[in-house]
C-alpha cells in the first residue's frame, strides 16, 4: 500500500471516529461504540493469556456473526483446548452476543490503525485469524501477514462495483493478496477475483445455510405461540423496519384479518417508542412479553425481544423479511429453511440467496402493498399445489447448499497441521 493511500485511509478512519464521537452525544448505539472501546487494551491484557493457543474470529455485526457461528462451533468441537477470541465492530453484534458461551473472550475491535493493530495482535497472539464476508481492515491484515499469522476470509462476496475492481483499485487489491485463503460464496466472485490475478480463492457455500439448517433441527416449544397458532395460518413479518411495517399493516387490514390469517411481527427495532407506534398500527396486538394474555382469539403478536425470530419462523406459512427499503434485506434463509414463501423490499441485489430464490419462484420482491397482495393471493391457500411446490423447493434450496462449514474447517485443519 502506498504512503499516499495510507495517509488517505488513516484520515478517513480518523474522520469516521470523530463523527461517531459526535453522534454518541445523542445516539445510544454510537455511545456504546465509543464506550465499549474505552480502556480496551487494558481489559484485553488482563483477560487474555497470549501464551495459550488463541484463535481470532472477527465479525462486523450480528449478521456476520450468524454466518461465522457454525464455523466457530465446529472449530471448538474439533479443537476443544484452543481459546477463541471473538471481536465485533458494531454494538448490534457485541451487545447481543457478549455472553456467547462458545467464545472464551469477546471484545469490540479497536479502530484499525497501525499502532492499534500491532498492540491488539501482540496481546492476543493468535495462531489463526478468521474474518467474515466484508472485513478488509488494512492495518490488521498487514500486521497478521507480517507476523506470518494465517488469515482467511469466509463467506465472501465480490461484485464489479467494488473498489477492488475499479481503476483506482490497486491499493485495495493488494489487501486481498495478504489473505492465505478467500472463501467466496459463488463462482462469480471467484472469476472476478481471478480476473485481477487474485488466485488464493475457493468457493464454499455461505455458512449461514449450515446455521439455519442446525436451527431448524433444534427443539423449540413456546406454549403461548402454540396456542396462538393452533388451527390457524400464520403470516410472519421478520426484522421489519417502518417502511415494511406500513405495507404489512395494509395487507393485514385488507387480506389477512378478513381471511382469518394471523400475524406475528418481529420488528428490527424494539424500543418502547417504536413498539408504541406498532400498537397504533395493529390495534388488537398483544406483546410477546405479555404471553399470559395470548389466546386463540389473539390476531397479532408483536415480538418485543431479541433472539427468537429464527426459531419462530417454524410456526409460519408465509414470511416478509425486512430491510429491503434500507441498507439491505435481513436473513431470508431463516424462513426459507422451513419452506415459507418469502417477500422482501427492493434492496436485495447484494444477496445471492435472494437472487436464487427469486429465480426459483420461492421469493417475491415488492415495493408497495399492491405488489405484496398481488403475489400473496395466488399462494394464500397453503393446501394448493402452487404453495406446496414453493415450500418444497425452498426447503430443497437450503438443504442443497449446506456444507460450507466443513469445507472451510478442512482447510483450517490443513493449516493447523503445518503450525
Which residues, listed in sequence order, are joined to residue 236 by a DSSP beta bridge?
Answer: 264, 319
Q: Is the pTM of this model over 0.75?
A: yes
Rounded mean pLDDT of 252-265?
94
DSSP run (H or E) holding 410? helix 404-417
Burial 146-172 (b: 16+ CB within 10 A, else e): eeebbbbbbbbbbeeeeebbeeeeebb
129: left (phi over 0), alpha (psi -120 to 50) or beta: beta
Q: Which of 142, 125, 147, 153 is nearest to 178 (CA)?
A: 142
Contacts 24+ apart (CB under 8 A), 293-297: 294/224, 294/225, 294/227, 294/228, 295/227, 295/228, 296/227, 296/228, 296/230, 296/231
pLDDT in tens, 43-96: 999 999 999 999 999 999 988 998 999 999 999 999 999 999 999 999 989 998
Model pLDDT, residue 344:
98
Place of cell 489463526: 128
- Are 184 and 204 within 8 A, CB to CB? yes
Q: How many CB atoms lie within 10 A of CB 315?
A: 19
Per-residue pLDDT reduced to its tens digit, 129-170 = 999 998 899 999 999 999 999 999 999 999 988 888 887 777
Give residue 1's pLDDT band: very low, low, confident or very high (50, 70, 90).
low
CA–CA separation, 78 vs 219, rounded Å?
24
Average pLDDT, the chain: 93
pLDDT reported for residue 297: 81
Most confident of 1-15, 90-104, 363-377: 363-377
Tell me the range of 5-19, 24-38, 229-243 where mean pLDDT is highest: 229-243
Kindly list the structural domains of the chain, giving each domain's residue range(s) and its CATH number in brackets, ordered by start. Answer: 3-205+403-417 (3.40.50.11720), 215-400 (3.40.50.2000)
Amino acid at each position: 500500500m502506498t504512503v499516499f493511500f495510507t495517509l488517505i485511509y488513516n484520515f478517513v478512519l480518523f474522520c469516521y471516529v470523530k463523527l461517531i464521537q459526535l453522534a454518541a452525544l445523542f445516539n445510544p448505539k454510537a455511545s456504546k461504540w465509543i464506550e465499549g472501546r474505552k480502556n480496551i487494551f487494558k481489559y484485553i491484557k488482563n483477560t487474555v493469556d497470549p501464551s495459550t493457543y488463541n484463535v481470532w474470529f472477527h465479525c462486523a455485526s450480528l449478521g456476520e456473526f450468524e454466518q461465522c457461528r457454525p464455523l466457530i462451533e465446529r472449530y471448538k468441537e474439533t479443537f476443544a483446548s484452543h481459546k477463541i477470541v471473538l471481536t465485533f465492530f458494531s454494538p448490534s453484534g457485541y451487545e447481543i452476543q457478549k455472553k456467547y458461551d462458545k467464545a472464551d473472550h469477546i471484545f469490540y475491535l479497536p479502530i484499525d490503525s497501525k499502532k492499534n493493530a500491532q498492540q491488539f495482535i501482540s496481546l492476543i497472539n493468535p495462531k489463526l485469524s478468521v474474518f467474515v464476508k466484508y472485513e478488509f481492515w488494512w492495518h490488521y491484515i498487514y500486521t497478521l501477514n507480517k507476523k506470518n499469522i494465517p488469515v482467511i476470509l469466509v463467506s465472501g462476496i465480490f461484485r464489479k462495483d467494488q473498489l477492488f475492481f475499479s481503476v483506482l483499485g490497486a491499493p485495495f487489491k493488494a489487501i486481498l493478496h495478504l489473505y492465505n485463503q478467500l472463501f467466496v460464496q459463488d463462482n462469480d466472485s471467484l472469476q472476478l477475483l481471478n480476473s485481477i490475478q487474485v488466485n488464493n480463492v475457493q468457493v464454499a457455500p455461505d455458512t449461514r445455510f449450515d446455521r439455519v439448517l442446525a436451527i431448524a433441527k433444534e427443539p423449540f416449544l413456546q406454549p403461548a405461540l402454540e396456542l396462538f397458532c393452533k388451527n390457524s395460518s400464520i403470516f410472519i413479518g421478520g426484522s421489519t423496519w417502518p417502511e415494511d411495517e406500513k405495507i404489512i399493516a395494509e395487507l393485514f387490514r385488507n387480506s389477512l384479518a378478513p381471511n382469518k390469517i394471523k400475524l406475528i411481527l418481529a420488528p428490527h427495532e424494539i424500543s418502547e417508542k417504536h413498539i408504541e407506534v406498532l400498537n397504533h398500527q395493529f390495534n388488537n396486538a398483544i406483546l410477546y412479553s405479555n404471553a399470559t394474555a395470548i389466546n386463540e382469539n389473539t390476531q397479532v403478536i408483536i415480538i418485543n425481544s431479541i433472539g427468537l425470530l429464527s426459531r419462530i419462523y417454524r410456526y409460519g406459512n408465509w414470511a416478509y423479511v425486512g430491510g429491503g427499503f434500507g441498507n439491505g434485506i435481513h436473513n431470508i434463509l431463516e424462513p426459507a429453511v422451513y419452506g415459507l414463501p418469502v417477500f422482501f423490499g427492493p434492496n436485495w441485489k447484494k444477496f445471492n440467496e435472494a437472487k436464487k430464490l427469486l429465480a426459483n419462484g420461492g421469493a417475491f420482491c415488492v415495493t408497495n402493498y399492491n405488489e405484496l397482495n398481488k403475489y400473496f393471493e395466488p399462494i394464500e391457500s397453503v393446501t394448493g399445489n402452487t404453495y406446496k411446490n414453493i415450500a418444497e423447493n425452498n426447503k430443497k434450496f437450503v438443504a442443497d447448499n449446506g456444507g460450507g462449514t466443513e469445507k472451510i474447517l478442512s482447510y483450517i485443519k490443513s493449516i493447523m497441521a503445518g503450525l
